[in-house]
A and B are shown apart, each in its own frame.
Chain A
Amino acid sequence: MKNIFFIIDKPLHGNIQTQEFIDIALMAAAFDQRVLMLFEGDGVYALLQQQTPEAIGLKNSSPLLKALSVYDINDVFVEAESMRERGLSSEQFVIEVNVCPRAELKQQQETADQLFSF
């Protein structure tokens, strides 16, 4: 089993990249790998509630984040510094997350077998 780290550092909407990226994470979990997800930088915006991309004719991939737990992806982290820089708090998020400082997340990443971003 490999430790695979998925790093989302871009917002969710406007293109299909994030949705396709999450598909890889779900598949890795379905292949019994240990999946860790990290939201950092502008990626933390992806977690905001009340996203209505239907307003611009796009499918809402926000509910997809709730499906992470269906595939036993429970190690979901958000970088504390990125949240602070953007004035966000975890009550505003659609899913429960572990808020961690950057330095600690760096140590976690060093133990990964594979790091993915997009």
Chain B
Amino acid sequence: MLPLDVLARDEYGFLADSGQWNEAVAEALAAEDGLQLTPAHWEIIQFMRAYYAEYQHQPNARLFGQAIKKSLGADKGGSLYLYRLFPDGPLKYANKYAGLPIPPSCI
């Protein structure tokens, strides 16, 4: 596993260079927050990466839920489901483990 301390991070602990992201980095970032990534987490994280790659856009919380609903199904865009996966804030931590910038509302 890549040691996190060689990766440049911003003041919020997010990757400074998303080019340094890989799955091992995502797992290490989550582990640091005490979270073990499961396939359900990965589904959301990969969705975030694909969405960002295609649209160069970071949705806010409301749009995030809508976009997930549209792509992965209504049950997965709901707050209940997302908060169970990322208890400290789905938008913030899905972005963090996806190696993307911190969204404005999460600072």
Q: What residues make up the interface of A, taking CB atoms closer than 8 Å to B?
A: 23, 26-27, 29-31, 59-61, 63-64, 66-67, 70-72
Contact = CB atoms under 8 A, between A and B. Distances in A.
Contacts of A72: 70
B63 A60 contact: no
Interface string B1-40: 0000000000000000000000000000000000000000
A66 B55 contact: yes
Contacts of B51: 70
Nearest to B65: A30
Interface residues of B, number: 13
B70 A60 contact: no
A55 to B, nearest CB: 15
Contacts, number: 39
B63 A30 contact: yes
Q: Would you call the interface of chain B mostly helix, strand, loop, or mixed? A: helix
B56 A30 contact: no
Contacts of A29: 66
Contact of A67 (B55, B60, B62): B55
B66 A67 contact: no
A16 B67 CA distance: 23
B14 to A, nearest CB: 17
Nearest to B53: A63
Contact of B63 (A27, A59, A61, A66): A27
Interface in B30-83: 51, 54-57, 59-60, 62-63, 66-67, 70-71
A81 B104 CA distance: 38
Interface string B75-94: 00000000000000000000
A71 B55 contact: no
12 contacts: A27-B60, A27-B63, A29-B66, A30-B63, A61-B56, A63-B54, A63-B55, A66-B54, A67-B67, A70-B66, A71-B66, A71-B67
Nearest to A71: B66
